[in-house]
Amino acid sequence: MIPSFPNEPRVLDVGCGPGKQTVELLRCGAGTVVALDFLPEMIERVIAEAEREGVSDRLETVVQDMKEMSFPASSFDVIWSEGAIYNLGFEVGLKKFKEFIRPRGCVAVSDAVWLKPNPPSEVVDFWREYPEIDTVAAKLDTIKRNGYTMLGHFVLPASAWTDQYYDPMEERIAERTKDWRGISEAEAILSEARNEISLFRRHSDYFSYAFFVMGS
């Protein structure tokens, strides 16, 4: 969905985490990727992954809270934020990215969406901490209202949650259950994770993440 650029693009990966998508972005293009995360240990993992894959020569890193991002205006051809824009809020994030994207650049983000109306109360309670979860149509309206041109969007399949997230999480829970037995705070974390996985497996038809690609 992202058009090609005549020169080597400069890409900002906002909330890069451990860097899996950062490395994919480096593989996909010949330009520079700036990976931003507020956790130094995540930046260390990004650097190590990029070095393993032989693409670290085009990687730049910034340890910074995305709420405090400070770049010159029109610094990037692409701004990418996979599963992280919720830290800013969807609309606030789009407004902030507008400061840094070049004319005819692209913004690509994923955010939580409702897939159908009237979710069960336990699903509503789970998402209460993120009040900007909304329908795809409402997200598209927000994108348009903030001056972007829609290039494309899609809803992530349930396998994106299970194969890459919940299945590995269940393995980690099994590993830690015995080690953390009797540690009340750790057991509470494991219980919360189990409940989240159970909620998704029972009600994944009500919510997911959608990916939105837009032009500046």
The string of pLDDT tens digits covering residues 130-179 is: 989 999 999 999 999 999 999 999 999 999 999 989 999 999 999 999 89
The string of pLDDT tens digits covering residues 116-130 is: 999 999 999 999 989
Give the span between the Cα atoms of 205 and 216, in whole angstroms.
Answer: 32
Q: How confident is the model at residue 4 (pLDDT cuts 50, 70, 90)?
A: confident
pLDDT greater than 80 at residue 54:
yes
Where along the chain do its domains lie? 10-116+130-157+206-215, 159-203
pLDDT greater than 80 at residue 80:
yes
CATH number given to 10-116+130-157+206-215: 3.40.50.150
**29 φ, ψ (degrees, to nearest 5):** -135, 170
Cβ contact 82:109 at 8 Å: yes
Closest by CA position to 69, among listed 35, 21, 107: 35
